[in-house]
Amino acid sequence: MECVLITIYTFLNCPSFILDSFHQWTFILTFKHRYPYIL
């Protein structure tokens, strides 16, 4: 149970740059999927 709490705690305190890069990556993949001829 402690391990789960630690994981949740770490996730909640996740640095914003990790989330930002994740969103960027998702956006790039989505964009590539929709407009493959551009990239």
**Which domain range does residue 11 map to?**
2-34
pLDDT on residue 5 = 78
Q: Looking at the domain assignment, is residue 7 inside a domain?
A: yes
pLDDT on residue 14 = 66
Q: Looking at the domain assignment, is residue 39 inside a domain?
A: no
- The 8-class DSSP code of residue 4 comes to H
Q: Looking at the domain assignment, is residue 12 inside a domain?
A: yes
The span from the first CA to the last CA of the chain, in angstroms, equals: 45
pLDDT in tens, the chain (39 residues): 677 877 777 777 767 767 777 778 888 888 877 776 655
Angle at 17 between CA 19 and CA 11, to 5 degrees: 50
What is the pTM assigned to this prediction?
Answer: 0.36
Dihedral sign, CA of 23, 21, 4, 13?
A: negative
Q: How many domains does one find in the chain?
A: 1
Rounded-to-integer distance, Cα 13 and Cα 19, Å: 11
Q: What amino acid occupies position 22?
A: F
